[in-house]
Structure 1
Amino acid sequence: MKLLIIDRDQTERTGIQWFIKHYQLDITTVYEAGTVEDAINCLEMENPEIILLELEILMQDKTKGLKRALSIQPHHLITITAEPLFKNAQEALSLRALTLLVKPIDLNLLKQYLTHACRQVLNPFKDTLSYVQENSIYPALFIDDSPTPIEDNVFCFMIETEFSEQNELLFHWLQSLPFSQQFTFYPLSKRIMCFSRDKNLEELIKKGKSIMREWTKSHNAYLNIAIYDLPNRSIKTMYNALKQALSLRFQSGFSQFFYVSQMPVYKKFDHFLTIEQQRLWINGLEQNDVQTIKIFLYNISNLEIYYQPDAIRIHLTSILAQVRRFMLKYQMEKMIEVEKKYDLLFDMILNHPVLYTIIQEFVLFCQDVMNQAVHQKEHGQFDYVNGALDYIDIYYSDSTLNLKTLADFLGISSSYLSMLFSTTKGVTFKQYLNEKRLTHAIQLLKETSLPISEIASTTGFNDSNYFSKVFKSKFTISPIAYRQQMKLVID
């Protein structure tokens, strides 16, 4: 097999030659070209199967003769550039290159793509990736009756990278492995769907461990592998089951094997903070109680219980909203660095693949916010409305709570606090307090069988008749009727 290196730098060409000989790749002859003319002559005379092309040399190709020669001769092209610019990536795509490598060249990557090119030359009809032929699996991923049967002696599994942007790289790397001919790989947007004819599950697991180990060693990143270890079903069924198994990564992390037969049952998880949890966070942040906050957050990542990832993400955003109000109370929204960290954490909660990493960052952010609050207190930076909201969250069940009590606590006049509530929240203090009490009352009506009078006193209404009047004004039905209605819905 013949390879042509087209590069203006003699040292680069010599180094690549030495590397190819040192690793004994399936290449018998290596040619070099340092100019456009030499490259065109070699292409026409020797017809090399594999070409390494420095893109910058094309700038010297005024007549575009080299491009024409490249378009005429069949070959596998690997492009190289000293500048990772978008225009160079476009050029590589237009030339239908296998990849674009950036100088200084990562020799592991070079080896992978050279190995892949060699195998494509040696096995030009090998069905490694079928997009259009009749037995392509892609339609079968989404259509149950797609005519792509899977034999019983074929194992189906799925590989996921720690960094989804490495998915294409992972696909080519898998094809360069010594035992890759025993597998068929199908790249998806974020994962690789795989089929193997291993004799038994133990053989597949052994190869899977080798894949994990070598990928981590060569790319300083991790993989997860999900295996369909039940009797084979339709490709769509197995595909969906494997995706679901890989979602366990959210609580388990990477470098894991997940087996479809061992999928846990997800426990119910309340998306939003309870009244008691809100109070815990208000007091914890105010008192700089790092330990309480750590315990609360780390309990969410308890590996003995599995929850739906989306439910946990919503729960964490609910907690972050509580932290946000604490930030506003001490006017931290004016601090650019704190705001940046808040935005990064919010994005992490929504998108990061591993819960434990999110929790660690959440703890660090809370510590930073609490330290900033100490500084803000010392300099008299305080938002009265958010301070009032925190106080109401803690003491709304106290029937003696009124505007004067709250104003005295904040050290301002009742009339000033009333004005702040009306302009900031759009409601009066009394309306906001009753809304808070009614929210808790609804929870108790749904979840307990407590008498109406006890619910009224528990939520801060010292008169059950007044409670019923406020409730009916808000929901158009009485508390008793609401409870009966909810019972019928549940039954």
Structure 2
Amino acid sequence: MIKMILADDEPVIIRGIQKLVDFNRLGIEIVGEYEDGKSAFDGILTEKPDIALLDIYMPKKTGIEVLKELKTLGIETKVIFVSGFQDFQYAKDALTYGAVNYLLKPVIREELVETLEKCITMLKNDADGEGGSPEHPDCPEEEGPAAAYDKLVEVEECRYLPILTEILYSRQTGKQERRLIQFSVLSFLEQYLEKRQMGIVFLKNGHIVMVLKNPEKEETGRTLDSILEAAEVQLHIPRCQLGFIVGNPVDSMGEIPRAYEECLSMTGYFYFSSQIKVPVLHAGEPVFKKPATLDEIREVRNQLIEGMVAQDEKAFTDAAARFRRLVCLISEGRRDDACFHYGSTIRIIEERFETMGIDGMPVEFKDILEQARQSESYECLTGLFEGYFKEYKERIKKAVVSSEKKDIIHAREYIERHYSENLTLEVLAGEIHMNPYYFSSFFKKNSGENFKDYLNKVRMKHAINLLVSTDKKTADIASEVGFRDSRAFSELFSRIYGETPSNYRKRVKNG
């Protein structure tokens, strides 16, 4: 039988509708009668009728308000409105929010029967799978929140607190294992909350959602802490493997989906769970007290590369740890940002290797980025890139085995650090402890170009970076990269790149 409820603040109207139609012949059972909107709404949650015939104007909640909340909660009860007000706006609102029809009082039998038959056809189509939503591929079959909301209507005046619960997998786990773990956690939470009459739990698009009734702010933390303790004992799940995002409390069930969406927007932070001391986040509140800056990222990145080049294990390890933390802070829950910062570091190291004349990594950069994007967690991401950093350090170590190779690497590194100064062949030869005449031929033999050309190439590389990333004047850039004569800089730039520095900047920024 198809279940149906009737709601009107005038009992005579309800009786009249019951006499107007032979509901049994249509296969319809009346499972509830209500005289106000609030009780009708609660009745829909508890009785789960297929059809609801509602008066537009009722005490406590209007019919339109009931329909809005049902749609917000994803409850698919077919709603028919009746009203004594012949006002187009009410009919428009009713149909806008998904009512099947809008009937005027006194209700005409033929119109009601026709509308009921339309509802029956819609229900049959829904049952046959038309317009249904597919099962989420990575979670147990979902009943959806609507199936659980009936347990919340016991309290007349109530506040609700949505809490998104996430399972934080610390290792690679298969799809089937994840389904089993999620099912265990869902069952555990359902029993925990029901035993204490604290609220409900349900699955929403693969996410576990708890809704607590009449939450006390100071008690929420203790509640979650006791849930973690109980889960560790009963499910043998370590505390670090469950995370929570506490939403903002709301005054009606219709507001729960909006509060849930606020929680959902923060789930990206759980990718960085290894960097979060307490896995309890609060919607709308900052996760980290002090965010990182790009300048801090650049400074520590340079320290990491310098430790790598100098083969200073402690400096390298300390910088890698600081870089790991800073990238987490600046990413603010965005996985792609973390991939970008680590990926940019690989590019910078490759450029440095080219400067030193050392072969870089044989792996394609796009393949490294693809590996990064597939990482399950920030721990996996940092493990991937720190493995590459160590490989780069080993390549430098092998490259400096011969004293000749070591000297040319030292020379190139010195140029990279001092290109902006009045760097002469004599100064560099003194740094390498060679006679200037011998050093000149030594440098050309090992670099394939003379000292002056190589120095200018390094200066131009840094000049281009300043041209495209700053608004500094050409003369200031020339001075900053080591040219004492801005005209000489412009002439050399034009000879190498075929256009003036200002034209180059304009073309790159506009194109």
TM-score (norm 1): 0.50
Partner AA of 2:312 in structure 1: D
Partner AA of 2:400 in structure 1: K
**Secondary structure at the counterpart of residue 397 of structure 1:** coil
Deviation digits for residues 136-156 of structure 1, max 9, x if unmatched? 85799xxxx988999962221
Confirm whether residue 161 of structure 1 aligns to residue 167 of structure 2: yes
CA contact (8 A) 2:400 2:406 kept: no
**Secondary structure at the counterpart of residue 377 of structure 2:** coil
**Secondary structure at the counterpart of residue 193 of structure 1:** strand
CA 1:196–1:326: 2 relative to 1, 3 Å: same
CA distance in 1, matches of 2:370, 2:409: 21
Deviation digits for residues 251-283 of structure 1, max 9, x if unmatched? 643651111142358847439975x66654443
Instruction: Identify which of 202, 205, 215 aligns with 1:185.
Output: 202
Q: CA deviation at 1:179?
A: 2.4
Q: How many matched pairs?
A: 335
Partner AA of 1:209 in structure 2: D
Corresponding position of 2:248: 229
Partner AA of 1:188 in structure 2: N
Corresponding position of 2:463: 438
**Secondary structure at the counterpart of residue 155 of structure 1:** strand
Identity over the aligned pairs, expressed in percent?
Answer: 12
> How much is the aligned-residue C-alpha RMSD, in angstroms?
5.6
**Secondary structure at the counterpart of residue 215 of structure 1:** helix
CA 1:248–1:409: 2 relative to 1, 3 Å: farther
CA distance in 2, matches of 1:416, 1:364: 30
Confirm whether residue 196 of structure 1 aligns to residue 207 of structure 2: no
CA 1:413–1:263: 2 relative to 1, 3 Å: closer
Corresponding position of 1:418: 448
CA 1:378–1:434: 2 relative to 1, 3 Å: closer
CA 1:365–1:480: 2 relative to 1, 3 Å: closer
CA distance in 1, matches of 2:391, 2:455: 34
Corresponding position of 2:312: 289
CA distance in 2, matches of 1:167, 1:460: 59
1:61-72 aligned at under 5 Å gives the runs none
**Secondary structure at the counterpart of residue 159 of structure 2:** coil
CA contact (8 A) 2:331 2:337 kept: yes
Confirm whether residue 456 of structure 1 aligns to residue 478 of structure 2: yes
Corresponding position of 1:247: 268
Q: CA deviation at 1:284?
A: 1.8
Q: CA deviation at 1:411?
A: 8.0
Corresponding position of 2:88: none
CA 1:457–1:135: 2 relative to 1, 3 Å: closer
CA contact (8 A) 2:353 2:359 kept: yes
Q: Indicate the structure (1 or 2) with the bigger Cα radius of gyration.
A: 2
CA 1:445–1:202: 2 relative to 1, 3 Å: closer
Partner AA of 2:213 in structure 1: R
CA contact (8 A) 1:271 1:314 kept: no
Corresponding position of 1:16: none
Partner AA of 1:179 in structure 2: Y
Deviation digits for residues 151-208 of structure 1, max 9, x if unmatched? 962221111111275653343223422324431311434x323333354345544442
Deviation digits for residues 300-327 of structure 1, max 9, x if unmatched? 4169965434434322222233445677
Corresponding position of 1:106: none
Corresponding position of 1:7: none
CA 1:392–1:455: 2 relative to 1, 3 Å: same
CA 1:304–1:387: 2 relative to 1, 3 Å: closer
CA distance in 1, matches of 2:261, 2:414: 48
CA contact (8 A) 1:156 1:227 kept: yes
5+ long unaligned stretches in structure 1: 1-124, 128-133, 421-427
Partner AA of 2:462 in structure 1: R
CA distance in 2, matches of 1:304, 1:272: 12
Deviation digits for residues 363-390 of structure 1, max 9, x if unmatched? 6764565356435533789699998875
CA distance in 2, matches of 1:439, 1:146: 58
CA distance in 2, matches of 1:200, 1:146: 34
CA 1:304–1:345: 2 relative to 1, 3 Å: closer
Partner AA of 2:163 in structure 1: F
Instruction: Identify which of 339, 347, 363 aligns with 1:313.
Output: 339
5+ long unaligned stretches in structure 2: 1-45, 49-69, 77-95, 99-144, 153-157, 430-435
CA distance in 1, matches of 2:393, 2:211: 51
Deviation digits for residues 402-450 of structure 1, max 9, x if unmatched? 8x97997798562673389xxxxxxx9588435413234327843x6xx
CA contact (8 A) 1:174 1:180 kept: no
